[in-house]
């Protein structure tokens, strides 16, 4: 049982891993050249935050349609089409002429990219048992962290020789290729049993449903606030160079590469509830410490710890769902929880940009 048994299904693990890696690359590529985009399109901080929020408006809207497509045609086709869609919209973002067009394309990216994670949870629920799901999701989620590390280095380096527009076009073409690889490796399980829940079946009277929804709102909202704004905070507040900023962002994502599977493995052994309680309390403490403006090397340690604990809770927040609500409805409940997560990722980055504009401070936000 555990890691060894999970690795007996390498195609499912690698295909899901690659899908989440591509999603992360496409979603965060622009944040690594936000300085250049902000200057060329003449953006204030509120509009800069709107680029991330526009994505998550589309991502939230896309949850239900992609869930329907996944139920009807299978997770394999849904994930492949979603990877292709967000990749082509990233390429299109490289042609943005003004902020309105840029936000519309970011909305399109979110809408088209919403069919990767929840169908991935559905695949894991169908292929792995309750003692393996946390570990399996953790391995898939490594892809998300490695994708962000790749974007944090590749995009600035490409931008130096071909501008931010050229770098995003290259990333988009790369993503279109990975869609074909996902199609090759992923498989839907024959005889998989899943069903859509009606509105009357939603467990709205169960406190755990709302606890998990709130946890997801905070988790993903905080995560994408870091992704969208930390590069600018590091450069404007801490005076780091472009290279130092890329290295620091790599620490954030390197931590996630380790803590994503670690959180799943620990949750399989000791229970998801304990991991979630310890993880979110620790995250609160380290966010407060980060706002104190501590210098090096404490800054680097804090960034690593932020990346560790925000990713440590990701797999348990989803692997707990089949045990609470049943494996046959895991896809539906995961989709609903992910909608709350998307709403947090929509609101919090935009809110920080707005607070930065009216207070001239990141710390208050």
Instruction: Categorize the per-residue pLDDT at 196 as very low, low, confident or very high, splitting at 50, 70 and 90.
Output: low
DSSP per position, 300-329: HHHHHHHHHHHHHTHHHHHHHHHHHH-GGG
Range of the domain at 210: 7-186+206-359
Cα(307)–Cα(296) distance, rounded to whole angstroms?
17
Number of domains in the chain: 1
The mean pLDDT of 192-197, rounded to a whole number, is 54
193: pLDDT strictly greater than 70: no
Of all residues in the chain, the percent with pLDDT exceeding 70 is: 93
The pLDDT assigned to 22 comes to 95
In a domain, 194, yes or no: no
In a domain, 195, yes or no: no
Enter the pTM of the model.
0.74
Treating both helix axes as pointing N-terminal to C-terminal, what angle do 242-270 and 133-185 enclose, rounded to 10 degrees?
Answer: 120
The pLDDT assigned to 87 comes to 96
Instruction: Categorize the per-residue pLDDT at 61 as very low, low, confident or very high, splitting at 50, 70 and 90.
Output: confident
pLDDT per position as a tens digit, 273-324: 888 898 889 988 888 888 777 777 888 888 899 889 888 888 888 778 777 7
pLDDT per position as a tens digit, 34-47: 778 888 888 777 78
329 is written with which tokens? 């409805």
1: pLDDT strictly greater than 60: no
Cα(116)–Cα(136) distance, rounded to whole angstroms?
15
173: pLDDT strictly greater than 80: yes
The mean pLDDT of 265-277, rounded to a whole number, is 86
Q: Which helix (H) or strand (E) holds 354?
A: helix 330-359
- The 10 Å Cβ neighbour count of residue 176 is 18
Q: Report angle CA 126, 69, 84 to the nearest 5 degrees.
A: 95
Q: Which has more pLDDT, 337 or 191?
A: 337
In a domain, 200, yes or no: no
Cα(285)–Cα(19) distance, rounded to whole angstroms?
32
The pLDDT assigned to 227 comes to 78
CA 267 to chain centre: 20
365: pLDDT strictly greater than 80: no
170: pLDDT strictly greater than 90: yes
The pLDDT assigned to 91 comes to 95
The pLDDT assigned to 35 comes to 76
In a domain, 75, yes or no: yes
Of all residues in the chain, the percent with pLDDT exceeding 90 is: 19
Instruction: Categorize the per-residue pLDDT at 171 as very low, low, confident or very high, splitting at 50, 70 and 90.
Output: very high
**CB of 334 within 8 A of CB of 321?**
yes
The pLDDT assigned to 109 comes to 93
In a domain, 102, yes or no: yes
Query: Which one, of 164, 145, 144, 142, lies nearest residue 155 by Cα?
Result: 164
In a domain, 24, yes or no: yes
Query: Which one, of 79, 109, 112, 90, lies nearest residue 180 by Cα?
Result: 79
In a domain, 300, yes or no: yes
pLDDT per position as a tens digit, 66-84: 877 887 788 899 999 999 9
Instruction: Categorize the per-residue pLDDT at 111 as very low, low, confident or very high, splitting at 50, 70 and 90.
Output: very high
202 is written with which tokens? 């939603």
In a domain, 365, yes or no: no
Q: Which has more pLDDT, 85 or 64?
A: 85
Mean pLDDT of the chain, nearest integer: 83
Question: Quick one: residue 297, left, alpha or beta (phi over 0 = left, psi -120 to 50 = alpha)?
Answer: alpha
CA distances from 303 to 92, 99, 148, 194, 294 (A): 32, 30, 14, 40, 11
147: pLDDT strictly greater than 70: yes
* Residues with Cβ within 8 Å of residue 299, at least 6 apart in sequence: 238, 248
- If you average pLDDT over each of 43-47, 76-80, 157-161, 259-263, which comes out highest? 76-80
The domain that holds 320 is classified in CATH as: 1.20.1250.20
pLDDT per position as a tens digit, 203-228: 777 788 888 888 889 888 888 888 77
Query: Which one, of 15, 24, 67, lies nearest residue 183 by Cα?
Result: 15
- Using DSSP's 3-state secondary structure scheme, residue 299 falls into helix
Q: How many residues does the chain have?
A: 365
The pLDDT assigned to 199 comes to 59
The pLDDT assigned to 131 comes to 76
């Amino acid at each position: 049982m555990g890691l060894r048994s999970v690795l007996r299904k390498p195609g499912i693990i690698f295909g899901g891993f690659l899908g989440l890696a591509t999603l992360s690359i496409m979603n965060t590529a622009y944040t690594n050249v936000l300085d250049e985009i902000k200057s060329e399109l003449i953006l204030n901080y509120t509009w800069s935050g709107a680029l991330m929020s526009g994505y998550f408006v589309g991502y939230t809207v896309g949850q239900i349609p992609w869930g329907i497509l996944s139920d009807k045609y299978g997770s394999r086709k849904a994930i492949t089409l979603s990877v292709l869609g967000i990749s082509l919209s990233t390429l299109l973002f490289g042609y943005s002429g003004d902020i309105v067009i840029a936000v519309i394309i970011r909305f399109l990216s979110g809408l088209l990219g919403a069919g990767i994670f929840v169908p991935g949870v559905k695949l894991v629920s169908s292929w792995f048992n309750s003692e393996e799901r946390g570990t399996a999701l953790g391995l898939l989620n490594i892809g998300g962290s490695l994708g962000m590390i790749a974007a944090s280095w590749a995009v600035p380096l490409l931008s130096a020789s071909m501008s931010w527009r050229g770098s995003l076009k290259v990333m988009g073409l790369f993503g279109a290729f990975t869609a074909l690889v996902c199609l090759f490796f992923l498989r839907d399980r024959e005889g998989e049993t899943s069903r859509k829940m009606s509105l009357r079946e939603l467990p709205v009277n169960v406190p755990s449903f709302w606890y998990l929804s709130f946890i997801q709102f905070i988790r993903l909202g905080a995560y994408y606030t870091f992704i969208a704004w930390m590069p600018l905070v590091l450069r404007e507040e801490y005076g780091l160079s472009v290279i130092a900023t890329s290295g620091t962002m790599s620490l954030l994502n390197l931590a996630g590469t380790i803590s994503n599977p670690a959180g799943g493995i620990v949750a399989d052994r000791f229970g998801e509830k304990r991991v979630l309680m310890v993880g979110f309390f620790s995250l609160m403490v380290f966010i407060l410490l980060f706002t104190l403006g501590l210098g090096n090397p404490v800054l680097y340690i804090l960034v690593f710890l932020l990346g560790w604990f925000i990713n440590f809770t990701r797999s348990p927040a989803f692997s707990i769902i089949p045990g609470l609500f049943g494996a046959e409805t895991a896809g539906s409940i995961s989709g609903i929880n992910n909608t709350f997560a998307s709403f947090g990722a929509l609101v919090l980055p935009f809110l920080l940009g707005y607070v930065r504009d009216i207070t001239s401070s990141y710390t208050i936000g």
